Structure 1
């Protein structure tokens, strides 16, 4: 059963059709890439998957169950997490506290318990702190746990944002252009990281760096003007005439 399925998704903004009957499936431990020229509808599709945009028609399903009314706050309870292009880190919170925000739904006693200083709330906070430190360590940025995002290099902040998504141990990870702003060497490291994540996590990757997409994805969906023009494994997509034409004749990859 697919971890995430989007079927016949149509989205309009005013008189503009941003997505027209778009569908894709993200299977277990699969990295499914979404690519396309600027304005193709990639960001809109990602926003539908995250619950930021509600489709005019179509269905979003999680393991076969419809989640059409998905909202971003619902993602953790569904075993999903996402990163955004803009990082979304809190400048006045430490790196560790930023990451803990992503794990907050694991705290059984919740926010009210923290306010009341209940014993279980204290145990939960310690457990969350340990979880956050472990994920930062896995991503090689534990040394920055007590620093604040504005003082960090951009690639480190990208890893912190990823740690905040991973700390909830999601089954489905939604990545919106994770390679933006990275050097070639940093992109190679990101590719290795995404490949390693796919051993336990399904990934929906929206990206415009073709080298990364071809390196890590097992399936690719290509959009152009809001419609699917190609789907398949990287080798099929690379050689598809419609894809080459969409990219103005430039080789993909």
Structure 2
């Protein structure tokens, strides 16, 4: 995929195929994420977006192809290994611990920064990094404007705040690559606009791979977009190129792309 003279991408999916029984969920899918860019992955229902995200997160093992990080193949990636590779993710289900405060939820995300591990501390094994991790967690909560919720429990918070908590938990690990799965789901237009500003600001510290179906958000924050349909890449390019690609318009977007202009 990489041409001679081109810089090595931060992350690459190369020739990935996934089959569930006789169904081909992904077929020879390739994409790259450069440092400090936002790559959008879009497509209609059943296009393979979720399967691709699950491959990248280590939930699904591809039948063919490989994942590469900083030019090196990542063999047999598993979800619990993501943080160790400098990758963090948010999921549609948020996955917050309801019996832990917001601060503790975010500190769990900082586990890879601790020598002994915050999760071990929760189990009573202890370490000396608690104060440092709590400070880091509060710093990230402050950046997202939700530090005042630090002592609250997720179940008592509005959904948009919980989404920010999940984002803070991912960011506190200081990832090089942040994976966002449908981050705009359940948000109002105003909240989605704020999310767009947040994502744009994140490129100062990390690259972002965004799986999303809200085209106005995708077109406003992404540097490049990869389009899937029936498990195959049918287009890849800048938002303007995707917006005007006949294959994309014919496949599924049509007026929705035009409305996002």
Instruction: Find the counterpart in structure 2 of residue 198 from structure 1.
Output: 203
Instruction: Find the counterpart in structure 1 of residue 224 from structure 2.
Output: 219
Q: How does 1:1-253 map to 2 (within 5 A)?
A: 1-110=8-117, 115-117=124-126, 121=127, 123-247=128-252, 249-252=254-257, 253=260
CA distance in 1, matches of 2:121, 2:192: 41
| 1:89-139 per-position Cα deviation (integer Å, ceiling 9, x unaligned) | 01111101110110112111336577354xxx1x30111111111100100
3-state DSSP of counterpart to 1:52: coil
Q: Residues 154 and 241 from structure 1, CA distance in 2 versus in 1: closer, same or farther, beyond 3 angstroms?
A: same
Give unpaired runs (5+ residues) of structure 2.
1-7
CA distance in 2, matches of 1:48, 1:124: 33
- Could you state the TM-score of these two structures normalised by the residue count of structure 2? 0.93
| 1:73-104 per-position Cα deviation (integer Å, ceiling 9, x unaligned) | 11111111000000000111110111011011
Q: Residues 14 and 153 from structure 1, CA distance in 2 versus in 1: closer, same or farther, beyond 3 angstroms?
A: same
- 1:174 Cα shift? 0.4
Give unpaired runs (5+ residues) of structure 1.
none
CA distance in 1, matches of 2:154, 2:215: 29
**Which of structure 1's runs of 4+ aligned residues deviate more than 6 A?**
none
Contact 1:244-1:251 at 8 Å conserved across structures = no
CA distance in 1, matches of 2:125, 2:185: 42
CA distance in 2, matches of 1:192, 1:175: 15
Coordinate RMSD, CA, aligned = 1.3
3-state DSSP of counterpart to 1:12: strand
Q: Residues 191 and 248 from structure 1, CA distance in 2 versus in 1: closer, same or farther, beyond 3 angstroms?
A: closer
CA distance in 1, matches of 2:256, 2:151: 44
Q: Residues 144 and 113 from structure 1, CA distance in 2 versus in 1: closer, same or farther, beyond 3 angstroms?
A: closer
Instruction: Find the counterpart in structure 1 of residue 5 from structure 2.
Output: none
- Could you state the TM-score of these two structures normalised by the residue count of structure 1? 0.95
CA distance in 2, matches of 1:61, 1:113: 33
